[in-house]
Amino acid sequence: MNEILLAEFSSPKALLKAAEVLSDCGYSKYDVYSPFPIHGMDDAMKLKHSKLGWIVLCGGSVGLLTGFCLQTWVSLHYPLIISGKPFFSYPAFVPVTFELMVLFSAFSAVFGMFALNKLPQHYNPLFKSAYFRKATSHGFFIGLDSTEKGYDREKLRELLGTIGVNHIEIIEDSE
């Protein structure tokens, strides 16, 4: 059975300090919950840079190539002589190529974000906690997963107690 140790802190500074201490102690399978973004939290948690930018770049490149190839194919296979212009008039391709690049980039950003965030996730054991409801308004939480190597509930309670935790709750996941 999997469990999550949910620790509540009183302020963003205390939460940031707790994330730094946990990262320094070697923990990596934890997540931080707060009602607003906290500057410096990525560095405190030692998170890697997101891959979303590369996904959007690839999506935009595919859109750019799709738009250019589509218009090239149409102009060469269905030639229309208009005002003596050549069949392959690439300056006229710019608006459609740009629009398809933007469209493919937007779709790759949305679906890439869903994939990287493992969404949609209809169930989370933290939703069972009455304390966790404060995370959307004024609560600052860290959730530590019990599948973490070196997870020891009592050592974590002591460690978090030295940092200044307000409340600790163990949430068991039956799934």
72 Cβ neighbours under 8 A, 6+ residues apart: 88, 93
Indicate whether 74 pLDDT > 80. Answer: yes
Confidence of residue 108 (pLDDT cuts 50, 70, 90): very high
* pLDDT tops 80 at residue 10: yes
* Residue whose entry in the numeric block shows the structure tokens 């090239």: 72
Identify which of 1-5, 6-10, 78-82, 123-127 has the greatest average pLDDT. Answer: 6-10
pLDDT of 1 strictly over 80: no
2-49+126-173: which CATH topology?
Alpha-Beta Plaits (3.30.70)
> At a CB cut-off of 8 Å and minimum separation 6, what does 135 contact?
33, 34, 35, 141
Q: Omega into 12 within 30° of 0, i.e. cis?
A: no
Alpha-carbon gap, residue 110 to 101, rounded angstroms: 14
Q: pLDDT value at position 175?
A: 66
Taking residues 80-107, what's their average pLDDT? 91
Report whether pLDDT(18) > 80: yes
Q: Are 132 and 141 in contact, with CB atoms under 8 Å apart?
A: yes
Say if residues 5 and 161 touch (Cβ distance below 8 Å): no
- Is the pTM higher than 0.85? The answer reads no
State yes or no: pLDDT of 50 exceeds 90: yes
The ranges assigned to domains in the chain are: 2-49+126-173, 52-116
State the average pLDDT for the chain: 93
Q: Which position has the higher pLDDT, 90 or 107? A: 107
Please state, in angstroms and rounded to a whole number, the distance separating the CA atoms of residues 109 and 63.
13
